[in-house]
Structure 1
Amino acid sequence: MSAQRKDRRDLFFIAALLLGILILFMLPIGYVLLQNHFATVRAHRMLVHARALLRQDGLPLSVDEMNRLTTPPPLAENAAPIYDKIFMNFNQNPQWSLLERQTYPLLDNWLATIPIAPFGFTTSRPSASAMTPAQQESLLHVAQQYVQSARAQFPLTAKAVALPYCNFQRNWSLGSNLTFPEYSQAYKLIRLLLLRALLLDRAGKPLEALQQIDLGVKVAKQIGSDPVLLAFLTQYAMEGMLQRAWMRVVENHANDPQVLQCADKVSCDFGHGPDLIRDMYSEALWTELTSRVAHAEGERFLEEVNPQLTSPMPLGNSSESFLTHFWNRLLGKEQSKSLAAPTIDLMEANMLDYLHNFIQIEKRYANDPYQAMKAVQQLSADVSDAATRAPKEYFLVSVMDSNYQTTAIKGIYLRAWARQRQLVLDLFKYRLQHHQFPKDLSVFPNEETLDPFSDRPMRYRRTVQGFVLTSVGERALAANTSSDELTVRYPLSK
Structure 2
Amino acid sequence: MQRRHFLTISLATLAFGCRKETPTSSKALSLTEALAAAKREGLTTDWRELKMKPVPAERNAALIFVEADKAYQKLPQSQRDADGLLLVAAQKTGALALARPVLERQSALLKLAEKAAALPGYSMERDWSKGLSTPFPEYAVARQMARLLTVRALLASEAGKPLEALADIEHATQIGRHIGSEPTLIAMLVHIACASLTDRSFIKILQRHGEKAGVLSAAHKVNLAFGPAPDLRFSFRSELPSQIMGVANIRQGKPFFADDEKPDDGSKEMIAIVKNSPQIATDWETSTVWYWRRVYQELTRNEPLTLAARMEALLAPLAKRHSRSDYFVLILAPVMSQAAVKVQHWNAQKVLREAMLSLLEARLKTGAFPEKPTLPGDPFDDEPLRYRREGKGFTLYSLGENGKDNGGSDEKEVVSSDTDSDKKTRVKDLVVRYGK
User: Structure 2: which amino acid aligns with 1:344?
Assistant: A
Q: Does 1:434 align with 2:366?
A: yes
Shift of 1:353: 2.1
SS at match of 2:335: helix
Q: Does 1:391 align with 2:323?
A: yes
Q: Does 1:408 align with 2:378?
A: no
User: Structure 1: which amino acid aligns with 2:380?
Assistant: F
Shift of 1:465: 2.9
Spell out, residue by residue over 1:289-335, the C-alpha distance to the aligned partner (whole angstroms, 9 max, x if none): 1222343449989x94599xxxxxxx899xxxxxxxxxxxxxxxxx9
Question: TM-score, normalised on structure 1?
Answer: 0.70
**Matches for 1:202-281 after TM superposition, within 5 Å:** 202-281=158-237
Shift of 1:272: 3.3
Give, in whole Å, the separation in 1 of the partners of 2:132 and 2:84: 31
Aligned to 2:293: 356
Aligned to 2:282: 345
In structure 2, list runs of 5 or more residues that go unmatched: 1-18, 21-25, 258-263, 405-412, 416-424
Of residues 370, 373, 391, the one that matches 2:308 is 373
Q: How many residues align?
A: 391
Aligned to 1:91: 73
SS at match of 1:164: coil
Shift of 1:155: 4.5
SS at match of 1:469: strand
Of residues 53, 58, 63, the one that matches 2:37 is 53
Shift of 1:204: 1.0
Give, in whole Å, the separation in 2 of the partners of 1:56 and 1:76: 37
User: Structure 1: which amino acid aligns with 2:238?
Assistant: S
Check the 8 A contact 1:166/1:225 in 2, yes or no. yes
Give, in whole Å, the separation in 2 of the partners of 1:339 and 1:469: 60
The answer to which of 388-397 and 239-248 deviates more is 388-397
Check the 8 A contact 1:99/1:146 in 2, yes or no. yes
Indicate the RMSD between aligned Cα atoms, in angstroms.
Answer: 3.6
User: Structure 2: which amino acid aligns with 1:246?
Assistant: F
* Largest Rg, 1 or 2: 1
User: Structure 2: which amino acid aligns with 1:369?
Assistant: P
Spell out, residue by residue over 1:388-431, the C-alpha distance to the aligned partner (whole angstroms, 9 max, x if none): 22521212321244522221110111000000000101111111
Give, in whole Å, the separation in 1 of the partners of 2:391 and 2:212: 21
Give, in whole Å, the separation in 2 of the partners of 1:193 and 1:475: 31
Aligned to 2:4: none
The answer to which of 71-80 and 414-423 deviates more is 71-80
Aligned to 2:90: 106
Question: TM-score, normalised on structure 2?
Answer: 0.79
Give, in whole Å, the separation in 2 of the partners of 1:304 and 1:175: 15
Aligned to 1:185: 141
Q: Does 1:449 align with 2:342?
A: no
Larger helix share, 1 or 2: 1
Spell out, residue by residue over 1:163-190, the C-alpha distance to the aligned partner (whole angstroms, 9 max, x if none): 3332321122222222222111112111
Gap change, CA 1:171 and 1:43, over 3 Å in 2? farther
Gap change, CA 1:53 and 1:73, over 3 Å in 2? farther
Give, in whole Å, the separation in 2 of the partners of 1:230 and 1:102: 25
Give, in whole Å, the separation in 1 of the partners of 2:273 and 2:91: 56
Q: Percent identity?
A: 28
SS at match of 1:281: coil
Aligned to 2:434: 490
Give, in whole Å, the separation in 2 of the partners of 1:425 and 1:64: 44
Check the 8 A contact 1:229/1:280 in 2, yes or no. yes
